[in-house]
C-alpha cells in the first residue's frame, strides 16, 4: 500500500484574519515510506548526533515574505500581530519568532529586507563535542540544507562560496550568528582555516551552469579538490568529497579526476577521506531555472504552462529528497567507511509518469489553497537531447549495509513540500 502525506493547508477562502495562527499548526503531517509520521530528521549514529525536529528545519525554508502594497505602507506596522502571521502559519509551524519580516511590494516589484527577529535555537554543545566544520559551496542547494542541519546541531560552521550558482539568501538567516561565518571565496584559490571536518560541495551541478564555462568547471573539480585536500592534510581534518553523477564531459571527467586525487592523498599522506556519489536530488532552494526535470515540471505546472517531456517519456530516473541526502552525507562523514558510497533513492519513475505525478500534486496543492485553474496543463513531448541517459538508478547496498542509511521520504511527499516552496516564492515575486 502506498501512503501519501497529508499537507492540507486550508483554502484561502476559509482564512479569517482573526483565526489564531496555532489553528493551522496540525495541518502539515509528513509520513514516511512505512506510513509512520516523520517528526525529526537525522539520527544518533557513529558517535555523532544529527537529529533535529522537522518543524524547526522546515521553518527555515518553507516561508514567504509578507506581501504588502506600497499604497498601504501603514500595514507594515501591524506585521508582528498574530493576525498577520495567520496566512503564513502553514509554513512557519509555530516558529514565527525566528522568521524574517521582509516585505514584498508587488505593485512596484520591490522588497524590503530586514534581519531576523531572533536566530533559531541551536544546541549548546560542550567544547569536546562541538566541531569546527567547513562547507565549500555552502550557499548552494545541497550545501545550504547541510548548513542548516549543522547549525541547529550546535556546531561552528564556515561557508565558502563564490556565488556562481549559490545565493546568500539561502543562508542569510544565519548571518551574524556567533557559530556561523560566510566567506566569499573561490576554491580554485587556496584557503586557510582551522577545522575538524570539510564538506567539499563546491561545483556547479546542473548542465546549464557547468557547461557555461567548461574549463572553469574542470578547474573547480581539480584545483578546488587539491586545495581542500591540502587543507585537510595540514589540519588533519576529516574530508568529505561529493561526486554527483554527471552526463557531460567537463563535469564527469572533472569529478573522476577529483576522486582519483582524493584517494591519492589518502594513500600517500594518510588524509582521512570520505567520498559520496550523489544521485538525482530535489527539494526546496533548488534553482527553478537550472534545467533539471523536477524544477522544470513544477514551475511549468504552477504557471499553468504545458509540461515539456523530452523523448518518448520512457526513460527512467530515481529521485531522492534533500533531507535523505543530508542524513546520508552526515552518516558517511562520521562513519569509518572510506570507500565510495552511492547516496540516492532506488525508486524508479519513467519521466512520463513523473510528469503526471507532478501535475497531480500541483493540482492538489492549488485545490487546498483555493486557487482556480484556467485549464489543466498538458504534457507535451519534444525531441530527446544528445547523450541523455535512458536509465539512472543507484545501487545503494553499501550505504544500507555500512551506514544503516536508506531513504525515508517518498517522492510524492517531497514533491508536495517542494511545490509549496515554489508557490511561496512565486507569491513573493522571486519566480
Which of the residues are catalytic?
A: 251
Nearest partner of 282 among 99, 145, 163, judged by Cα? 145
Question: Pairing relation of β-strands 103-105 and 66-67?
Answer: parallel
Q: How many CB atoms lie within 10 A of CB 47?
A: 8
Question: With 0-12 CB in 10 A as exposed, 13-18 as middle and 19+ as buried, what is 414?
Answer: buried
3-state secondary structure of 46: coil
By the 8 A CB rule, do 85 and 92 touch? yes
3-state secondary structure of 156: strand
DSSP state of 1: -
* Chain mean position to CA 306: 26
Q: Which phi-psi region, left, alpha or beta, contains residue 311 (left: φ > 0; alpha: ψ -120 to 50)?
A: left
Measured in degrees and rounded to the nearest 5, phi and psi for residue 303 equal -85, -5
Q: Which residue has the cell 500534486?
A: 361
3-state secondary structure of 362: helix
Element (H, E) at 139: none
Q: How many CB atoms lie within 10 A of CB 190?
A: 12
* Chain mean position to CA 236: 29
Rounded to whole angstroms, the Cα distance separating 411 from 283 reads: 10
Nearest partner of 81 among 59, 64, 66, 60, judged by Cα? 66
- Which residues touch 389 (CB under 8 Å, ≥6 apart)? 247, 315
Amino acid at each position: 500500500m502506498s501512503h501519501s502525506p497529508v499537507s492540507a493547508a486550508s483554502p484561502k477562502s476559509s482564512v479569517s484574519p482573526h483565526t489564531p495562527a496555532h489553528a493551522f499548526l496540525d495541518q502539515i503531517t509528513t509520513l514516511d515510506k512505512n506510513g509512520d509520521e516523520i517528526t525529526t530528521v537525522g539520527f544518533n549514529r557513529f558517535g555523532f548526533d544529527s537529529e533535529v525536529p522537522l518543524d524547526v528545519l522546515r521553518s527555515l525554508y518553507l516561508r514567504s515574505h509578507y506581501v504588502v502594497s506600497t499604497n498601504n505602507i501603514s500595514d507594515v506596522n501591524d506585521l508582528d500581530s498574530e493576525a498577520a502571521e495567520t496566512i503564513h502559519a502553514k509554513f512557519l509551524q509555530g516558529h514565527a519568532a525566528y522568521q524574517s519580516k521582509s516585505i514584498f511590494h508587488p505593485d512596484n516589484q520591490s522588497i524590503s529586507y530586514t534581519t531576523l527577529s531572533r536566530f533559531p535555537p541551536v544546541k549548546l554543545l560542550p567544547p569536546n563535542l562541538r566541531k569546527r566544520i567547513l562547507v565549500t559551496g555552502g550557499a548552494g542547494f545541497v550545501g545550504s540544507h547541510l548548513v542548516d542541519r549543522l547549525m541547529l546541531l550546535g556546531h561552528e560552521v564556515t561557508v565558502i562560496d563564490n556565488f556562481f550558482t549559490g545565493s546568500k539568501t539561502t543562508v542569510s538567516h544565519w548571518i551574524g550568528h556567533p557559530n556561523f561565518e560566510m566567506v566569499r571565496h573561490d576554491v580554485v584559490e587556496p584557503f586557510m582555516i582551522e577545522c575538524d571536518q570539510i564538506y567539499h560541495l563546491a561545483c556547479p551541478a546542473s548542465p546549464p551552469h557547468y557547461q557555461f564555462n567548461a574549463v572553469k568547471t574542470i578547474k573547480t573539480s581539480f584545483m578546488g579538490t587539491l586545495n581542500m585536500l591540502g587543507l585537510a592534510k595540514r589540519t588533519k581534518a576529516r574530508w568529505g568529497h561529493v561526486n554527483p553523477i554527471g552526463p557531460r564531459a567537463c563535469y564527469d571527467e572533472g569529478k573522476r579526476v577529483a576522486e582519483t586525487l582524493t584517494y591519492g592523498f589518502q594513500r600517500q599522506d594518510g588524509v582521512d577521506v570520505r567520498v559520496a556519489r550523489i544521485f538525482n536530488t530535489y527539494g526546496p532552494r533548488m534553482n527553478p531555472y537550472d534545467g533539471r526535470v523536477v524544477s522544470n515540471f513544477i514551475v511549468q505546472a504552477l504557471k499553468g504552462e504545458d509540461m515539456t517531456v523530452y523523448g518518448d517519456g520512457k526513460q527512467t530516473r530515481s529521485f531522492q529528497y534533500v533531507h535523505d541526502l543530508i542524513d546520508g552525507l552526515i552518516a558517511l562523514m562520521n562513519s569509518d567507511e572510506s570507500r565510495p558510497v552511492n547516496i540516492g533513492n532506488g525508486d524508479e519513475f519513467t519521466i512520463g509518469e513523473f510528469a503526471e505525478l507532478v501535475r497531480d500534486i500541483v493540482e492538489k496543492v492549488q485545490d487546498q489553497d483555493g486557487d482556480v485553474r484556467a485549464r489543466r496543463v498538458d504534457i507535451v513531448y519534444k525531441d530527446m537531447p544528445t547523450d541523455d541517459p535512458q536509465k539512472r538508478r543507484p545501487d545503494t547496498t553499501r550505504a544500507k549495509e555500512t551506514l544503516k542509511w536508506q531513504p525515508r521520504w517518498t517522492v510524492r511527499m517531497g514533491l508536495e513540500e517542494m511545490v509549496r516552496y515554489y508557490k511561496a516564492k512565486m507569491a513573493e515575486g522571486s519566480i
